[in-house]
Each structure stands twice: as C-alpha cells, then as structure tokens.
Amino acid sequence: MYDKNNIKKVLSIAGSDCSGGAGIQADLKTFSSHGVYGMAVITSVVAENTFRVTDYQDVRPDIIEKQIDDIFEDIMPDAVKIGMLSCREIMLSVAKKIKKWKPNNVVVDPVMYAKNGASLMKESDINALISVILPLADLVTPNIPEAEKISGIKIKTFHDMKRSARLIYKSGCRAVVVKGGHDEGNDAIDILFDGNEFYEYCAPRISTKHTHGTGCTFSSSVAANVALGFPLIKALERTKKYISTAIANAIEIGKGHGPIHHFYEMYKKFFSERNDD
C-alpha cells in the first residue's frame, strides 16, 4: 500500500544529459517510475544529443561536496546511485562524502563512454575508479566494454564474463553484475556475482538502435528496487523486466540513438483512461 509519508528516497550522483535520455535525467525518471523520491547531485554538465557529445564541463569538487552534504544533512537516502565521475579529483570528493555519511545500498555505474562512443572519463583515471570508488559499492554494474577496462581482460565468451566479474569483485565491492547488452546472440544475458555464486538474468535481445540511457537506467532501477526493500537478486529480476520493457518501447526521437521509455506502463494506462473519458 502506498504511504506518502513513508516514501523511499534515492540519490543519484552523476552527470547531466541535456537531451534527457541518460545521466541524472534518466535516473530521476527511473526513480519516479518506481515510486521513490529522487534527488540528484550533478558532477558534470554534458552537452549532448542522440548522436553526439559536443563537450562537458565538470562541476567544481567543492560544489559537489556541498551538494552531497546538504542532502545528507536533511534527507537521508535509502540508496545511492553513482554514475559519471569524469576525473580523479571528483572521485576523491565523492568517496570522502560516502565514507563520511555511510549510506546503505550504494550502486556504482562505472560510466566511461556515451552511447555514441565518446569518452566521459579520463583514461588515466580508471585506476582511481577501481581503487577509490569500487570498494565503496554494494553493487557495480559495468557493461562489457567497461568490464574489460576494469578487469583488464577481453570478453569474448560467457566464461570471460564470469572471469571478469570475479576480477572486478576483488576490487572490494560487495557484488558485480556484468551486463550483456553489448554482446551478440539472441538473448541479452546479465551475470551477477555476489562473491559466492553466479546468477543469470536473461531476456530476448531487442533489435533496435534506440537504447540511449540503458546503463544509467539499469543502475538507477536497481538502486530504487533495493531502496524499496527487495533483496539484490529480486531487485535485479525486477530491473531486467523494467529495462526490457523500456527498450522494447523506446522513443524514436532525434537523429541518432533515441531514449528508452521510462514511463511506458504509466503512459499506456494514462492514455487508455483518457480515451475512456
């Protein structure tokens, strides 16, 4: 039963996508679609659209720290999603505040590239991501290119995905899910490793170029689900279903990779009821 006075609260610490498909814009849409109260700390402002990234400007680390403090001093999140951290200085600032406030349910999406392949993290700072940010995570959610960078191995097979997950787990995080969306084959298979066992999440691969924001949405959906009280294994089941529906009903706007549909079920219900009036 919905209780507006007991709403769960989720914070995204990530970059801003002015086109609305990824970044904090996608995170806030995802939070709303899951019935949780969303908050956002902006780390970088990205000038991008569906087919290119023109440029980005990092927010000063001290401003990032002040944003985080202001939220935690007033509204304690039930989960935190961490996305785009473009440089070591920002990573250190975010890590300092996560250590200070010690939130539960920290989900790290190790954002390195935009959908069109543009870099959103300095190559030289990947080691800082591994040593500074990943040990703070309850879950890390890399796609295959990101998992290759973090684990240091090429991923060509299902066995490679598992091996990569084991290597990433050794960074100190509590669990890893390697997403198979960049792989080939009829099914999109994600692999969760919790330090003891592997779990597989499988869905039919959807043939579409309109997948802008899938990584951001995946991680923010998991964060919302664990904030709602679902165990990690169940939270990922719910996320896999949500992501598959959002991709299957992606919005064909723009000249490039259109955004997935965060509110498909809500829109379907709204317009159905509207037509009945």
**What's the token pair of residue 75?**
């509204």
Strand order across the 139-140 sheet:
53-58, 37-48, 9-17, 79-82, 106-108, 139-140, 176-178, 187-193, 198-204
Helix (H) or strand (E) holding 57: strand 53-58
Collapsing DSSP to helix, strand or coil, 208 comes out as coil
Q: Which of 30, 50, 211, 217 is catalytic?
A: 211
Helix (H) or strand (E) holding 214: helix 214-227
Q: What is d(CA 249, CA 268) in angstroms, rounded to the nearest whole number?
A: 11
Query: How far is residue 97 CA from its own chain's centroid?
Result: 19
Q: Is the dihedral of CA 100, 102, 12, 78 positive or negative?
A: negative
Identify whether 202 is a catalytic site residue: no
Does 179 qualify as catalytic in the annotation?
A: yes
> Which residues, including other chains, have CB under 8 Å from residue 170's CB and lie 6 or more apart?
none
* 54 catalytic residue (yes or no): no
* 146 contacts: CB under 8 Å, gap ≥ 6: 110, 111, 112, 113
Annotated catalytic residue: which of 15, 213, 239, 258? 213
Active-site residue, 254 included:
no
213 is catalytic: yes
Choose the catalytic residue: 81, 97, 179, 240: 179
50 is catalytic: no
Of 15, 23, 180, 215, which is the active-site residue?
Answer: 215
The residue to which tokens 């349910």 are assigned: 105
- b vs e for 22-59, b when ≥16 Cβ sit within 10 Å of the residue's Cβ? bbbbbbbbbbebbebbbbbbbbbebebbbeebeebebb
Q: Which residues are catalytic?
A: 179, 211, 213-216
